Chains A and B, each alone.
Chain A
Amino acid sequence: DTGVSQDPRHKITKRGQNVTFRCDPISEHNRLYWYRQTLGQGPEFLTYFQNEAQLEKSRLLSDRFSAERPKGSFSTLEIQRTEQGDSAMYLCASSLTGPRGGGTEAFFGQGTRLTVV
């Protein structure tokens, strides 16, 4: 296991289409995070999972966005009816958190760059 991997690396889609991204975290990591980064800005938190449970969703995550982590391993982020404003880099990160809250730093994937035309 060489780290967090994301697929695809790039996606160009027409407005109104649905897209799905995948993130494979570091295998033993129990926490998985999705962030979105627009040009010239730092990443912004979208959602996070502890194992298979989605514990928080940002208000940035509209009803068109859904994320899953069905078996507590890989995660998918789906955007329905894409809009041009969805164009961004979508970053996934994972970390290992112990029972008392301590743990490793977050490790990031290479990101999926979405362009909605």
Chain B
Amino acid sequence: KNEVEQSPQNLTAQEGEFITINCSYSVGISALHWLQQHPGGGIVSLFMLSSGKKKHGRLIATINIQEKHSSLHITASHPRDSAVYICAVKGGSNYKLTFGKGTLLTVNP
């Protein structure tokens, strides 16, 4: 069993829909990251959080430390949001990240 599990693996939405991607982890962490990866490989960090909630534009990330669960929400989704969204956790060693397999999001116009 992976230490970081994401759901769903694939998600197709219509433009304007509200999107939720979930991440569950099984280890103690010091921080959780949400990352975006476009075709071609480059990874962009969206959020790093260790508690509560963060918001940036149309993106919202929440984390529940007790339940070992985080969600990434996208409001008013747009085709340019189409990408792979990856959850990664930083454990007690405080340096390396352990990644989920990612969620492939496709937003159709």
Q: Give the interface of A toward B (CB within 8 A).
A: 31, 33, 35, 37, 40-45, 48, 55-56, 89, 91, 93, 97, 101, 105-111, 113
Question: Chain A contacts of B41 at CB under 8 A?
Answer: 37, 89, 91, 110-111, 113
Question: Chain A contacts of B4 at CB under 8 A?
Answer: 42
Nearest-neighbour CB distance to chain B for A54, whole angstroms, equals 12
A105–B96 CB distance below 8 A: no
Q: How many A-B contacts are there with CB distance less than 8 Å? A: 59
Question: Chain A contacts of B98 at CB under 8 A?
Answer: 45
Question: Chain B contacts of A31 at CB under 8 A?
Answer: 95
Q: Give the interface of B toward A (CB within 8 A).
A: 4, 31, 33, 35, 40-45, 48, 86, 88, 94-102
21 residue pairs A–B, Cβ–Cβ below 8 Å: A33-B96, A33-B97, A37-B41, A42-B4, A42-B86, A42-B100, A42-B101, A43-B43, A43-B88, A45-B96, A45-B97, A45-B98, A89-B41, A105-B33, A107-B45, A108-B43, A110-B40, A110-B42, A111-B41, A111-B42, A111-B43
Chain B residue at minimum C-beta to C-beta distance from A42? B99
B95–A97 CB distance below 8 A: yes
B48–A105 CB distance below 8 A: yes
| Known contacts A44-B99, A48-B95; is-contact A108 B88 (Cβ 8 Å) | no
Question: Chain A contacts of B94 at CB under 8 A?
Answer: 97, 101
